[in-house]
Chains A and B, each alone.
Chain A
Amino acid sequence: MKQELYDLAERAIKIAKSAGADDCRVSIGGERFVEISYRDRKPENIKEASTKGLQVEIFVNKRYSSQSTSDLRPESLKTFIENAVALTKLLAEDPFRTLPDPKYYQGRSTIDLKQYDPDYEKVTPENRHSFVKAIEESCLARGGDKVISVTAGCYDSHSEQLLMTSNGFDGYEEASVFYGGAEMTAKDEGDRRPAEYSFAVALSRKALPRPEDIGADAAARALSLLGAKKIRTETLPIIIENRVVSRFGGGFMQAMFGRSIQQKQSFLADKKGQKVASDALTLIDDPFIPGGLGSRTFDGEGMAAKKRVMIDAGVMKDFYVDWYYSRKLGWEPTTGSPSNLIIPPGKRSVKEIMRDLGRGILITGFIGGNSNSTTGDTSIGITGQLFEKGEPVHPVSEMNIADNHLKIWQRLAEAANDPYEYSQQRFPSLVFTDVVVSGI
């Protein structure tokens, strides 16, 4: 299909230019996917389809718009783009809107990121069903008589994406994705029916764990929530489990974008070179991890990907600044979007850290909550385990933590040795001291 995407992109650029556009950027994506879920030992949903979509960003008379469509019939597309160019001319002028200087396209890495697993072609419907059945069976077995409901599922896709600009960039990517997961609801006291999930996602089939492990993990997690209660409001050390760190860290990250900074909605705007976290926090953006879910050799604007240290031992080093906001800010562009994010893991396991801390809360899930990127204030519901003398005492629910991102990261004490594999954000579990945990 690669050639088909190139032909379509070239055609779209030609139409836009003949309609009067000064420049344009086209991205086209195509995907074939299959999704299956099981419940009660039979298929609950089977879904399969192919999608294709085209987005064209138009630059004309220092004006800008972006248009997307799934109707790619030649006549429709021609009318769509011509109309888009005409309408763009009616907007207000914005001298900062241009395509990137082509020098930022240069120096693209030639590394093989291993984004497409040739085994993808070999996956059969039978493979998928037996994979999901195995997840379901192991979850049912591990959940035992506490099971109320188990849903297991898989998803896989083969996708292609092409980015092309009228000032000389083109980049093509082909990727496969494999996903397996399960959710279990368990019987608890009264009307409480705690549910938890487990999943794994990877670009190659071999990188997935055994289905039995996914199912058993979902069950173990659901069972661990039985008998949850809230405790009185208290200041405690907390450990945020690896797989949910990204949800909490997202509140901090929002303030790292060029748009937040230029629009004066960032509590980090004037913090470059300053200490914004404890020495324990180093944050690296690494686009070059083979098989990484966020790996890439160019970004969404075509700028060559680079490895960057965003935060170095607590010191704010860099921001996510795309071409447009770099021009508005008068800064050098970096990239508008994160690739793979790494917080270097520490030496100790969560268990060892718990023993050391004595009493605290291991947070395994968040609920509700939000974060204010202008001020850094944040407040979010938590679920997890109260531990004492390093051992779990009981699960907690209906509790909350509240703080400010400029303060709480200064109290990051340690990163554990467990970087999370199934996300673009490969964060280890993190330990914070002196956090107000509100309950009764």
Chain B
Amino acid sequence: MKKITRRSFLETGAAAAATTIAARAILPRGWYAFAQAEASGYFEREFGITEAMCRKVLARALAKGGDFADLFFEHTISNFLILEDGKVNRAACAVALGVGIRTVKGDQVGYGFTQELGEKAMLAAASTAAMIADASSNNPAKEFVPLKTKNYYPVKTLFSSVPLESKLPLVQSVNDKCFALSPLVIKVNVVFHDQQKRILVVTSDGVKAEDLQPRSYIASTVVAEKNGRRERSGWNFGGRREFSYYTPALAEKLAKTSVDRTLILFDAIQPPAGEMPVVLGPGVTGVLLHEAIGHGMEADFNRKKISTYCTMIGKKVAEPFVTIIDDGTVPNLTGSINFDDEGTPGQKTVLVDKGILTSYLHDKISARFYGVKPTGNGRRESYQHYVIPRMRNTYMLAGDAAAEDIIKAAGKGIYVQDVANGQVKIGEGDFAFYVSQGRQIENGKLGAPIKDVNIMGNGPKMLSNIIMLANDFEFHEGGAGACGKGGQAAPVGFGQPSCLVKSMTVGGVKG
């Protein structure tokens, strides 16, 4: 559903991204100078949220019945440092604080939220959520048992403890290295983003789960000019990473990747149009899986029978060498979660097992509908949103071919190296992804660079058209990507080996 919001003053002038510089070294006091990295007890310590208060609010949320209710407390600090025209001359910070209260009855959801964490405001939001039900009241659990999970992104040093003086040279160095690498470089933009998100989930069935989710990335954009022609490209690194990840070597690698990828575009063309074999390089091309199968396997679309995959569980959808996984447990990857936003532990879900479609991605609502356990895919953008099934890190396991043999087998077609974005129509299964960088394949060899071309396919058709997989699996180590669904953004990750798809429609320029 489309929702239009009016222009907001809050968007003023924020061209790229916006946010902070909450450096603990300079911020020894105040409510957002965190004393310690441990997640446990944060909301009670900082905001006085007690179990007794939670029970009272949950009781209000279930005042008219309902299957269950939950509370989602969030306190997120996001910072951006932005370099333009050679200097780190802009910073932005955003603080989000609030609680979302949800009442669930079957597949019906009542939702209220408040930015004030006082009892009165929370009870009012709970009354809103309760409206979805219309029977007699239920009681929440008498005790809340803390959820113990593994930690896939332990935080030793909070971003709020990293002084601005440490971040500034990192950002500056990427700029300086880019200019040093080529005299053709005329503009460089660098953004460093860090975020620490504290969450507390309390459910009426007695679970209490607290987490600290770090997220960060460094991204650079390079514009180069050659003989009057300009090209632009860039790269990013990140994930659920601490500041120690951002070493001088990484800055060097970022600069080199960004400049190389820009300069190659001076030789690039938009390829010919039509159906042809497509080879996807390793890593970021996993966006293909995200669009071609991932969204279609989100269980809300399937229980409503609006996904093309809704009748395919247990059926063969791909060759036996194809296994596709959605996984919240990959250390430090962007889409990893210790537990999801309704308190289900992080886990690994096999979507396609040796060619057979095995499981949808569930939240609690769809798990109840299908009579299965939730898979830990219940996610939300913030306390202002209710949970829906979402992907985490989606990837395909490696095959055993050599990458060059796959290119050879393609004969004539295109090689996709980098993908900027994608979209899917889940009912038809038709998807598209935008190739920002690649090569033509001619006579089984890589040829001229290509760019700016959209590729179209159909999910189930594409899966059955995967005919070779290489042994060069890679996770995409970028952190800037987010997936949008129902107006909510969620950080997700990708991974893939090189892979040959027999045929897809390439949206090129010549007939």
Interface residues of chain A, those whose CB is within 8 Å of chain B, are: 25, 27, 29, 35, 37, 39, 42-53, 55, 57, 63-71, 76, 79-80, 83-84, 86-88, 90-94, 97, 148-149, 151, 153, 155, 159, 161, 163, 175, 177, 179, 181, 183, 185-186, 188, 191-195, 197, 199, 201, 225, 228, 230, 233-235, 257, 259, 263-265, 293-294, 296, 300-301, 322, 324, 328, 336-337, 367-370, 372-375, 377-381, 383, 397-403, 422-424, 436, 438-440
Contacts and interface: CB of A to CB of B under 8 A. Distances in A.
Nearest to A191: B308
Nearest to B427: A193
- Which of the listed residues A199, A235, A375, A378 has the most CB atoms from chain B within 10 Å of its own CB? A375
Interface in B1-53: 1-15, 18-23, 26-27, 29-32
Interface stretch (B151-159, B176-184, B454-462, B473-481): B454-462
Contacts of A337: 7, 11-12
Interface stretch (B83-91, B138-146, B198-206, B404-412): B83-91
A107 B260 CA distance: 50
A87 B26 contact: yes
A367 B423 contact: yes
A230 B275 CA distance: 11
B451 interface: yes
Interface stretch (B125-133, B244-252, B343-351): B125-133
A151 to B, nearest CB: 7
Contacts of A300: 7, 9, 11-13
**Which 5 A-B residue pairings sit nearest by Cβ, starting from the closest?**
A368-B432, A400-B507, A438-B273, A27-B9, A300-B12
B4 A440 contact: no
B266 to A, nearest CB: 11
Nearest to A171: B9
Given A27-B9, A177-B4, A379-B507, A263 B84 contact: yes
A294 B6 CA distance: 7
Question: Of B165, B308, B310, which is in contact with the most chain A CB atoms at under 10 Å from its CB?
Answer: B308
Contacts of B187: 263-265
B2 A199 contact: yes
B15 A195 contact: no
Contacts of A46: 109-111, 128, 131-132
A179 to B, nearest CB: 6
A64 B18 CA distance: 12
Interface stretch (B223-231, B330-338, B389-397, B441-449): B223-231
Question: Which of B7, B21, B274 has most chain A Cβ within 10 Å?
Answer: B7
B273 A159 contact: no
Contacts of B109: 44-46
A139 to B, nearest CB: 13
A235 B510 CA distance: 9
A101 to B, nearest CB: 16
A49 B426 CA distance: 30
Contacts of B32: 80
7 contacts: A44-B107, A70-B98, A88-B91, A225-B428, A375-B231, A380-B432, A398-B457
Contacts of B21: 65, 84, 87-88, 90
Given A265-B223, A367-B423, A400-B454, A439 B88 contact: no
Given A47-B112, A70-B95, A185-B427, 15 more contacts: A29-B10, A49-B125, A66-B92, A66-B93, A87-B91, A90-B21, A90-B164, A91-B168, A181-B2, A192-B429, A370-B434, A378-B452, A379-B508, A424-B7, A440-B275
A263 B168 CA distance: 21
B265 to A, nearest CB: 9
A45 B386 contact: yes
Interface string B356-397: 000000000000000000000000000010100000000000
Contact of A70 (B96, B458, B511): B96
A50 B124 CA distance: 11
A368 B456 contact: yes
Nearest to A71: B97
A97 B9 contact: no
Interface stretch (B207-215, B235-243, B299-307, B319-327): B299-307
A436 B187 CA distance: 33
A296 to B, nearest CB: 8
A424 B8 CA distance: 13
A177 B305 contact: no
A194 B307 CA distance: 9
Given A66-B18, A177-B6, A368 B308 contact: no
Contacts of B309: 191
Nearest to B508: A402
Contacts of A51: 115, 384
B507 A401 contact: yes
Contact of B230 (A153, A259, A375): A375
Given A44-B107, A375-B230, A378-B452, A191 B510 contact: no
Given A185-B306, A367-B423, A368-B431, A68 B452 contact: no
B190 interface: no
B509 interface: yes
Nearest to A259: B15
A43 B132 contact: yes
Contacts of A186: 427
B471 interface: no
B472 interface: no
B506 interface: yes
Contacts of A48: 111-112, 128
A402 B453 contact: yes
A367 B432 contact: yes
B112 A71 contact: no
A188 B6 CA distance: 36
A20 B113 CA distance: 36
A265 B421 CA distance: 19
A76 B94 CA distance: 13
A176 to B, nearest CB: 10
A397 B430 contact: yes
A71 B93 contact: no
Contacts of A49: 111-114, 125, 128, 384
Contact of A183 (B1, B275, B384, B508): B1
A63 B89 contact: yes
A209 B84 CA distance: 46
A399 B95 contact: no
Contacts of A380: 432, 454, 507
Contacts of A92: 87-89, 168
